[in-house]
């Protein structure tokens, strides 16, 4: 899977991403950073502890990451979650949206992992020639 195919699978905007990042290699660099991001874990733990301030900050950071990477589907869900958390108080709609966001996030990471594996295999093969 190449970078453009990855964006198609995750519901992102490859055209905008490549305009912003200029090359697939730079996008791949940020894919690797995304793999290490812990904001979703921080968000989930904060909500378990009813720490709405930390949950809001984590959601807001994740929203920024998704928007900057042009992950449109994920950004839309995290944006809605951020708005629910903005008052920093309980809301019955938070947990259902968190569940949906976690699914989209995991799907996004899964496609990123597949893309990176494909990219690394292609790079190795190129050196063997």
Question: Is the pLDDT score of 127 beyond 70?
Answer: no
Residue 126 has pLDDT above 60, yes or no: no
DSSP 96: H
> Model pTM greater than 0.75?
yes
The arrangement of secondary structure in 3-117, i.e. its CATH architecture, is: Up-down Bundle (1.20)
For residue 119 the two structure tokens come to 């990219």
pLDDT on residue 60: 98
Query: Where residue 122 falls among pLDDT bands split at 50, 70, 90?
Result: low
> Does the pLDDT at position 119 exceed 90?
no
Counting every residue written for the chain, the total comes to 129
> Per-residue pLDDT averaged across 91-113, rounded?
97
Residue 128 confidence class, pLDDT cut points 50, 70, 90: very low
Between residues 45 and 119, which one has the greater pLDDT? Answer: 45
Sequence ranges of the domains in the chain:
3-117
Q: How confident is the model at residue 68 (pLDDT cuts 50, 70, 90)?
A: very high
DSSP classification of residue 89: S
Q: What percent of the chain has pLDDT over 70?
A: 94
Which of 58-71 are b and which e, b meaning 16 or more Cβ less than 10 Å from the residue's Cβ?
bbbbbbebbeebbb
- Mean pLDDT score, 5-24: 97
Flag whether pLDDT at 1 surpasses 50. Answer: yes
């Amino acid at each position: 899977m190449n970078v453009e195919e990855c964006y198609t699978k995750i519901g992102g905007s490859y055209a905008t991403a490549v305009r912003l990042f200029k090359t697939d290699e730079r996008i791949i660099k940020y894919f690797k950073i995304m793999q290490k991001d812990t904001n979703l874990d921080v968000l989930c733990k904060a909500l378990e502890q009813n720490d709405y301030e930390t949950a809001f900050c984590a959601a807001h950071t994740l929203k920024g990451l998704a928007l900057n990477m042009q992950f449109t589907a994920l950004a839309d869900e995290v944006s809605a979650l951020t708005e629910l958390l903005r008052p920093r108080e309980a809301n019955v709609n938070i947990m259902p949206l968190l569940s949906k966001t976690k699914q989209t996030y995991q799907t996004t990471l899964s496609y990123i992992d597949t893309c990176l594996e494909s990219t690394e295999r292609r790079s190795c093969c190129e050196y063997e020639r």
